[in-house]
Structure 1
Amino acid sequence: MDFGPDDVIDHDGPVTPYRQLAGILKARIARGDWAPNRAIPSEARLVQEYGLARTTVRRAIALLVEERVLFVVPQRGTFVAER
């Protein structure tokens, strides 16, 4: 399922919220909201922006790290990977 950069989380939809968030973040990266090697918003900010639990945000980020869309630098944040 494809997600747009301006989509909102549908808590009652067939796709889990963490997968929805991962799709939205990927779309925002593709749109150019965050350049390669630049940090995305913090987990706390994503929690607030999307109204999700911190564990849900972490799961979405972990999925994108696994897909090599993002990478994490300890004590610095989560960054967009080179394409």
Structure 2
Amino acid sequence: MTMEFGPDDQIDYDGPVTPYRQLAEILRARIARGDWAPNRAIPSEARLVQEYGPARTTVRRAIKVLVEEGVLFVVPQRGTFVAERSSEDR
């Protein structure tokens, strides 16, 4: 089942898609929209918890999905950053 999530969506806890997957798709949509430029930090885990309301573990899991897909990268002690898009992703 594929569902589209936009950059302005909120997490639907009663929906069929897990909250961490919804958050990952919302963050992906915000990156695609240009909310965060390549090599710039996204908001902290704490800020994403405040903004979207999930548990911190849910935020971490969503970020992990995007890191594994190459959308984000983590710099220890600095934060999570938007990866450069390769030419084939554009």
| Counterpart for residue 69 of structure 2 | 67
| Counterpart for residue 28 of structure 2 | 26
Q: Distance in 2 between matches of 1:49 and 1:63?
A: 19
Q: What amino acid is the match of 2:55?
A: A
What runs of 5+ residues in structure 2 fail to find an aligned partner? 86-90
% of aligned pairs identical? 89
Q: What amino acid is the match of 1:41?
A: P
| Counterpart for residue 3 of structure 1 | 5
TM-score, normalising length from structure 2? Answer: 0.91
Q: Which runs of 4+ in 1 moved over 6 A?
A: none
Give the number of the structure whose alpha-carbon radius of gyration is greater.
Answer: 2
Task: Give 1:42's match in structure 2, choosing from 30, 41, 44.
Answer: 44
Q: Distance in 1 between matches of 2:47 and 2:82?
A: 16
The two structures, once aligned, show a CA RMSD in angstroms of: 0.4
SS in 1 for 2:27: helix
CA drift of 1:10 comes to 0.2
Q: Distance in 2 between matches of 1:8 and 1:50?
A: 6
Q: Distance in 2 between matches of 1:52 and 1:15?
A: 14
